[in-house]
Amino acid sequence: MTDPDKRAVCIGEAIVELARGADGRFALASSGDSFNTAIYLARAGLPVAFASALGDDPFSDAIVSLAQAEGIGTDLILRAGGRLPGLALVDADGKGERRVHYWREAAPARELFELPQWSCMAEGLVKARLIYFTGITLSLYSNVGLGRFFATLELARGNGAKIAFDGNFRPHGWHGDLTRTRTVFAEALKRVDIALPAYDDEAVLWGDPSPEATIERLQAFGVAEIVVKNGPNSALVAASGACDAVPVPEVVVPVDPTAAGDGFNAGYLAARLSGRGPFEAASAAHRLAGQVIQHRGSIVPRAGAAVH
């Protein structure tokens, strides 16, 4: 992967997050799977932008300010007057397990490819070095939005961009409609160069009996480079005619597993964009994911987020 002057662009939604602490008080933060990955890519020193839509309220301003403070390009974030970003409230259930409640159906990110300025944003995507998105990204858009998004991906690929995708399947985002989910994913996968799925998600959505079966299914779509995350076990990497498991260097007890996959994906893509091979990149991805899960919340303190 060459041409360092071009940016990676992560597409998705950044939301306001309120997390209840042990004392009952709420802490305010911002999160979102593609947004988290953009932050970790920027911390790796790569040129990166985030493409999304926000309102014109103080909370949207704070998300943009956070992105800018992290060195993320914000010129592809559209602003919708009189709108508010999505909201997530995080607490724990009776067993202490993390539980998230969302208010995001009216968030402007859902209309990224239908807002009046969408074509200007799409022009920026077409110039990207790499475009990264997830299944959560896809769940945001209407059929009209998806059609425009997929057309933009094709133009970007024709211009030399690599397309990276993590299925990151979350049933609530698709309202339980597995048929539509599979149809949309299948259309996306026809345009993907690098797939970064988590095996447990693929097993739920597609019924894959093993990570190897996930590899075979994605290769049938023509995906050339595949990394199947499999929790603390390993990652199964298939690229350039080779397929092998890359073990986790050090298994750690997680403080909070939130955003482990986002960190893994950033670590992998950062290494690949820096010229390292797929198997070496998977080891770097494991290391960053291991750092992420040792801290609460999606974004770890800057001192603890170096990508090696």
Please report the domains of the chain, with CATH numbers, ordered by start residue: 8-13+32-84+106-299 (3.40.1190.20)
Per-residue model confidence (pLDDT) at position 5: 57
pLDDT tens profile 10-23: 999 999 999 888 78
Q: State how far Cα 165 lies from the chain centre.
A: 8
Amino acid at 154: E
Token output for 74? 């914000």
Res. 128: pLDDT tops 90: yes
The two beta strands, 234-239 and 225-230, are antiparallel
The pairing of beta strand 234-239 with beta strand 242-247: antiparallel
User: What's this model's pTM, rounded to 2 decimal places?
Assistant: 0.94
Residue 308 pLDDT grade (very low, low, confident, very high; cuts 50, 70, 90):
very low
**Percent of the residues in the chain that have a pLDDT greater than 90, as a whole number:** 79
Q: What is the mean pLDDT of the chain?
A: 92
Pairing of strands 8-11, 77-79: unpaired
The catalytic residue positions are: 262
Tell me if residue 104 falls in helix, strand or coil: coil
Helix (H) or strand (E) holding 34: helix 33-43
In the numeric block, which tokens belong to residue 229?
């995350």
Q: Which of 226, 211, 200 is nearest to 279 (CA)?
A: 226
Tokens of 203: 């097993």
Residue 19, sorted as left (phi over 0), alpha (psi -120 to 50) or beta, turns out to be beta
